[in-house]
Every structure is written in C-alpha cells, then in structure tokens.
Structure 1
Amino acid sequence: MIRDSLILAQRSITKMVRNPEQFIDVTVQPIIMTVLFVYIFGGAVAGDTADYLPFVLPGIIVQTIMFTSLTIGVNLNTDIQKGVFDRFRSLPIARSAPLLGAVSGDIVRHLIAITVTLAFGAIIGFRFGTDVGSVIAGVLLMILFAVSLCWVSVLIGMLARSSGAVQGLSFLIVFPLTFGSSTFVPASTLPDWLQGWVAINPVTHVIEMMRGLLSGPTFMAAGTTIGGEIVWVLASCVVLVAVFFPLATWAYRKKI
C-alpha cells in the first residue's frame, strides 16, 4: 500500500508541475495577503508595520495552509467526475492508495506555501526570534496539521456532487476557523462572546504555536506556552485523523 501511495503521490506532483496555475494559491496568494494585512492594518493594530509583521506572519502561514488544504477535495471530486478513479479501481493497487497518494502529494504544496511566505516575510523585514530547531519544528508541525486537515476536504470531495459545491462547502468551514481566531488581532481585543470561541478554536492554538516557534514567546497570547500549544495541536491532529480519515475512506469506497 505504501508503494502504491507513493507512486500516486508522484502522479499528483507531476500533475501540478504540468499545470503551474495550481501553484497560484501557494505562491501569489500568501504574498498578496502579507502585503495587504501588514501595510494596511499593521499601523492600526500594532502602531507600526515592523512590530506587526512578527505577529501576523505566522497567522498568514496558517491561513494559507488552511485554504491550500481545500484544493485536494476539489481535485479528487474532479477526478471522480472524469472517471479517473474508475481506472484506478481496475489496477492491482490498494483501494485506499489513491486517497493516501493525493494527500501525500499535497505536502509539496504546503511546503511551497510556507517557504514562499517566510521568504517574502524576510524580504520585507521578518526575522526569526528563535533557533533553527524551533523553526524546523514549527514547519513540521504545520505540515502535520495540514495533512490531518486534508481529510476534512477529502470527505467533502467524496460527498459533494460537483467541484464547485466542494469549494463552497469548504469555505463555509474554513472562514469561521481562520477569521474567528487570533490570526490578525490579539484575542484579548475581541468581544467576550467571541473570545470564548477563539479559545476553543484549534486554529488559534496552531497560530499561537507558530508564533512561539517562529517569532518567539513574547508574541504569544498571555497565559499560553509553546509546550501547551504543541499539545493542543497534536491533540487536534489526532482528533481530525481519527474522525475524518475513516469517514473519508468510507465515503470513497461508497463513491466508487
């Protein structure tokens, strides 16, 4: 099964390379988001763009990964509509290999998104406030969360009737998670009723973890620690995989 999944992951990567427009959301989008939020809101939120950049850049990375994870559901749904999975079914491969291969291939897109965002951030003045080990740990944990989150998109891709419906349903889930968090402003500045949601939102803990590992603990919310946020993120990954991987596999088997 592992060999079959790796071969199909290579297929996904080759498909991306031959269709470069698929990389727009992981190359152009994070740059645009960084420019917009740093230079339009930086002065209002932090008083200075240089002070706002270490705070917001980890949040933009998380937001970009959240939206990037939606693509796999759309692509899988399109492949099913085109009959690609009917061809996979006729091959002597593990039945779950097409799903595992697609999710594995998407890791390349996540890595590109993180690299582009950090590189552009460095160009406009971002500097790491931690050591190399912390930065690597942050990137690896971000990839782990992205892979875990992909299974939500895979499930939607299996259940929806069209790729457009997949995108619409996915945005309904991702928008409250990304904007109802501490992505762009400290949670303490939000209304009390919204702070309750932000506190239990797993995306908030991913963002705080990334701030601690990339920019340093001083940019994290009061009362949070890097170790505590890592535990939250790992627990979220376990829950996402435990719930949505079996459901996505079930929906896939039923679909084909």
Structure 2
Amino acid sequence: MGAKMQLRSRSVEDEPRFVVGMDAHAHKLAVSVWDWSDRFNACLHREIKCVDVDAMVKTYERHVDLDSITVIEASTNAAILKRRLNEAGFRAEVVRSDIIADKERKRKVCDIQDARNLALAYIKGDVRDFVWTPSDEYAEHRDVMFAYRDTVKELTRTSNRIWSVCSRKGYALPGRSSCAKVESLRKTIEETGIGGFAKERLEMLLEDYERLLKRKEALSRRMAETALSKPEMLRLMQLQGVNYKGAFALSAAVEDVRRFSEASK
C-alpha cells in the first residue's frame, strides 16, 4: 500500500536570487546558501553547519533571504521541514535522493558538502522535478492507512503463532474466521485442561489477538467514515471492485489527481 514518490515539474518563470541546499537529519541540519543573482556565475554566500532542527526557522530568519529557494533531499523528515519553512514564508522544495547520488559523499551527519551539492545541482539545472508532499489532512489519511496495514500484518502473525502452538501441542486447531478463532481458542483453554506455560502462552496470544482485532475494527470504521464523507472517495467506490478501503487508500496516496500533468502518469 506504500505510495510511489511523485514528481512535479520545476518552473523557471520566477527563479529566486538565492539557492539554499540543505542536508538534514533527525536532529541536525547544514545549509549552503548561494547567491544566484548572476545567472551565469553563482557564488557562495554563506554556509551554516550543525544547526538544531528546532532552531531552523530562527536561523533562516537571521541568515536567509526570503527571495530564496531551499532544496531538501527526500528523507523521513523532509516534508515536515518543508512545511515549517513554507509556514515561515520561505520557499522550500523536496528533491529526489538520487540527485547527488553520483557525487562523492562522506555520509556524515550534517555534511555541508551534500548541502553544497544540492544547491549546485539546482543551479546547474540537474533538478528538473520536485517531489510532491501531501497536505496535513492527507498525511493523516496515510498514517491511518499504514496503521491499518501494520495492524493486519501483526494480526496475521499472531494468528499464525496461535496455529503453531496448537499444532505442536496437538490441540484442536482454532477456526479460520476471527470470531471463530477467539471462541474456539477460549474453549480449548477452558475444556482441555491445558496447563503450564502452554496455557500461559495461548492466553497471551489470545490477548494480543483480541487487542489487534479491536484496533483493526476501529481503523476500518475510521476509514469507512472518512470515505463516506469525501466526494472523491465516494466516486471511486462507484467503480466495480473498489470498496471503501480501496477508495480510502487510493485517495490517500494520490490526494489530488490534478497534480499529474498527463494521464499516463
């Protein structure tokens, strides 16, 4: 259910005066600021190493001109960094992580060379597309979608463990449906005189299974309520074979189909 990275084309209509390359990690970042007022001869303006992520906006307000674009390499926290800069009035874009893949990289935290290479890649025209990042609302939809996926995976693993224990011990195998599995396992524990760690193990697995089952049902209900309240999801559900889960997942991944320049994309 993971969504592929989507790109949107770079516009050259309003290029900024300054280009900022950012190498960001979980807690620290480095920025390389280039003056691009002369389109044929960009020059290094300023570099700042090892800035705390929490102090990023204040650092920008002191040292980075608003007439700038920050180029951030796609990573786990790239979208939130872009959002924070946008909210502070700075233009920021996320680019593919392979933009500087061919450059020599030291793989250090807050590598100023990576920040420099990102800025230069933009200036030289190597950056032709930006990575699309979801809005806050649809980022939350994605979180729900991934939580549902992970819950289903863990539910399946727990079910397999229950079958494994019962099979090894020669106990009656529980039913395949969720309700039947819970009821038959309880009956097995109560009526067959299981003792020792086997009983403790099955009770722990049953507790985990019921907890995961409730979480799955809650997430499923949340997706259904959202799908019924969103016109674009309701339209998707009119397609044969698309239920509310499929409509929710597809909409969460795409958000706005108009961001694709061509139908083939």
Scaled by the length of structure 2, what TM-score is found? 0.25
Name the structure where helix makes up a greater proportion of residues.
Answer: 1
- Which structure has the highest strand share of the two? 2
TM-score by length of 1: 0.26
Greater length-normalized contact order (CA 8 Å, ≥ 6 residues apart): 1
